């Protein structure tokens, strides 16, 4: 039987964490977040909340990963804690709702920033059909690259990880040193909301969808635990190194955006990174930073494809998903059938997003990115809550199992993250009911497949 090869060390694992987080969020989500909250104080609060919750979540994940160093990520933890049915539903939701949709969302951002370059150069923007074709080509190009072994893909992660940090660092440096164009009054002119009531709380909850998406992916290295050297030590360390570094970069980038752009300008510019640098350096700067952002998104798509195919393989290996997905390539030891199946479903979701926005917005499809995120946020949150809670279940079920790392401040860390995620889930169901229910409904269809699979 073909097995995974342990080719990933601390550099590769940390690079995967960084590459999975820095993709599109910090460059694209500030606009919808500011449009929802409308002031700099709540804008900052949304980013801080997203970061704090991420840190507490990583504390819990680190223990789970060190205790169960198997490829598959949350699917593996849920299976150990709750049994195969809930684990299967999480995997089904990951494939059909959340994780593949995330690949589509970042592919759309990659295309958007290529579009930004094209628009700066020509004065015109892509139509919806070129947007579809470029996004589709990107997904399949990177799927193909990932078919040829994790060692090659791991080297890609280091290159992209360094490029991503350099790009965000460049944005911070340019925007914070552009004294002639920056204005500190941007931080105070629209500091407080006009009034603070229930609608404001709902706006914060809606904005958190995009903040969470910007921080999402930090658990990416856990999907590949069987390909990591010394996973009990390497995976927790890579999580903390990656997330702490990202937190610093995100704070700096958002401060830079506000220093160069007022609240209304941020609301109206979905390519906020391009606009902020363009203010300082002109059109040439806007083009250069758009190229850097596009490279970041490109690398993030590659990392997502790399990591997530392992979940579908892990499920199939346990007899809980499509049988063809359990095969590893005899030469490259990669789950190629799972990767190809993932690409096919990503194509379906991309087509759906394009058509949905075409009928809503005409030929521009301006809200495709937000539509995709709204579709999977509630479903992802439900299973995140179950995964975080599994640390309690597993401590009760297996009190004597080796735990190379134990969650810091447990059980307080677990309780905090569960309360915050549960509150976010309620607000998401209120502010985005139709896409949330669509995602939950699609997840529920997995029960039919599961029952049929068990009967066999």
Tens of pLDDT, residue by residue over 104-128, are 888 988 888 888 888 888 888 787 8
N- to C-terminal Cα distance for the chain?
24
Tens of pLDDT, residue by residue over 225-243, are 666 677 667 777 787 788 8
Of 226-235, 264-273, 399-408, which has the strongest mean pLDDT? 264-273
Of 19-33, 245-259, 296-310, 314-328, which has the strongest mean pLDDT? 245-259
State CA 386 to chain mean position distance.
Answer: 18
**CB-based contact 327:337 (threshold 8 Å):** yes
- Token pair in block for residue 454: 């068990």
pLDDT at 363 over 50: no
**CB-based contact 67:77 (threshold 8 Å):** no
Number of Cβ within a 10 Å radius of residue 161: 25
pLDDT cut 90: percent of the chain above it: 22
Residue matched to tokens 């937190």: 247
Cα separation values, 453 from 325, 340, 415, Å? 15, 22, 35
> Could you tell me which of 76, 55, 26 has the C-alpha nearest to residue 407?
55
pLDDT band at 456 (very low <50, low <70, confident <90, very high): low
Whole-angstrom distance, CA of residue 392 vs CA of residue 383: 15
**CB-based contact 165:249 (threshold 8 Å):** yes
pLDDT band at 365 (very low <50, low <70, confident <90, very high): very low
Query: Which residues sit opposite 228 in a β-bridge?
Result: 8
Q: What is the mean pLDDT of residues 292-299?
A: 82
The whole model's pTM is what? Answer: 0.77
**CB-based contact 379:436 (threshold 8 Å):** yes
Tens of pLDDT, residue by residue over 154-204, are 566 566 667 777 888 889 999 999 888 889 999 988 888 888 888 899 999
pLDDT at 153 over 80: no
Average pLDDT, rounded, for the chain: 83
> Could you tell me which of 98, 28, 51, 99 has the C-alpha nearest to residue 297?
28
**CB-based contact 57:388 (threshold 8 Å):** yes
Q: Is 399 exposed, middle or buried (0-12, 13-18, 19+ CB in 10 A)?
A: exposed
> Could you tell me which of 10, 29, 19, 14 has the C-alpha nearest to residue 377?
29
Query: Which residues sit opposite 8 in a β-bridge?
Result: 228
> Which CATH number describes the domain made up of 10-455?
1.20.1740.10
Residue matched to tokens 């066999």: 456
pLDDT at 33 over 90: yes
Q: What was the pLDDT predicted at 396?
A: 92
- Token pair in block for residue 54: 């991420």
pLDDT band at 364 (very low <50, low <70, confident <90, very high): very low
- Token pair in block for residue 78: 């849920």
**CB-based contact 317:326 (threshold 8 Å):** yes
- Token pair in block for residue 182: 């920056």
Burial of 16-44, coded b for 16+ CB within 10 Å and e otherwise, reads: bbbbbbbbbbbbbbbbbbbbbbbbbebbb
Q: What was the pLDDT predicted at 394?
A: 93
Tens of pLDDT, residue by residue over 60-114, are 887 888 788 776 667 788 889 998 889 888 888 888 888 888 888 889 888 888 8
């Amino acid at each position: 039987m073909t097995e995974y090869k342990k080719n990933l060390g601390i550099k590769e694992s940390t690079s995967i964490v960084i590459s999975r987080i820095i993709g599109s969020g910090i460059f694209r989500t500030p606009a919808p977040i500011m449009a929802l909250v409308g002031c700099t104080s709540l804008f900052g609060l949304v980013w801080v909340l997203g970061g704090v919750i991420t840190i507490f979540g990583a504390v819990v994940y680190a223990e789970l990963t060190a205790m169960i160093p198997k490829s598959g990520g949350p699917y593996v933890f849920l299976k150990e804690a709750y049994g195969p049915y809930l684990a299967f539903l999480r995997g089904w939701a990951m494939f059909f709702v959340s994780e593949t949709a995330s690949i589509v969302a970042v592919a759309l951002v990659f295309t958007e920033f290529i579009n930004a370059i094209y628009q700066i150069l020509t004065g015109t923007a892509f139509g919806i059909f070129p947007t579809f074709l470029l996004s589709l080509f990107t997904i399949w190009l990177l799927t193909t690259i990932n078919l040829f072994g994790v060692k090659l893909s791991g080297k890609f992660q280091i290159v992209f990880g360094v490029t991503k940090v350099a790009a965000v660092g460049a944005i911070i440096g340019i925007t914070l040193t552009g004294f002639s164009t920056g204005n500190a009054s941007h931080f105070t002119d629209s500091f407080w909301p006009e009034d603070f009531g229930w609608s404001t709380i709902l706006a914060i909850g809606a904005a958190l969808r995009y903040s969470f998406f910007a921080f999402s992916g930090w658990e990416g290295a856990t999907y590949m635990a069987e390909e990591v050297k010394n996973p009990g030590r390497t995976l927790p360390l890579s999580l903390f190194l990656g997330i702490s570094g990202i937190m610093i970069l995100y704070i700096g980038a958002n401060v830079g955006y506000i220093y160069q752009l007022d609240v209304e300008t941020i609301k109206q510019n979905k390519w906020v990174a391009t606009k902020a640098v363009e203010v300082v350096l002109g059109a040439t700067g806007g083009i250069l930073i758009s190229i850097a952002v596009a490279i970041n998104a490109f690398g993030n798509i590659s990392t997502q494809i790399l990591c997530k195919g392992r979940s579908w393989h892990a499920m199939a290996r346990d007899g809980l998903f499509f049988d063809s997905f359990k095969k590893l390539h005899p030469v490259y030891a990669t789950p190629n059938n799972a990767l190809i199946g993932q690409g096919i479903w990503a194509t379906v979701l991309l087509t759906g997003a394009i058509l949905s926005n075409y009928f809503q917005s005409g030929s521009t499809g301006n809200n495709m990115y937000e539509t995709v995120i709204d579709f999977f946020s509630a479903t992802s949150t439900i299973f995140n809550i179950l995964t975080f809670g599994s640390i309690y279940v597993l401590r009760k079920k297996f009190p004597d199992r080796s735990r190379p790392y134990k969650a810091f401040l447990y059980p307080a860390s677990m309780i905090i993250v569960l309360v915050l995620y549960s509150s976010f889930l309620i607000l998401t169901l209120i502010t985005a009911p139709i896409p949330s229910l669509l995602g939950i409904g699609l997840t529920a269809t997995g029960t039919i497949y599961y029952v049929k699979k068990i009967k066999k």
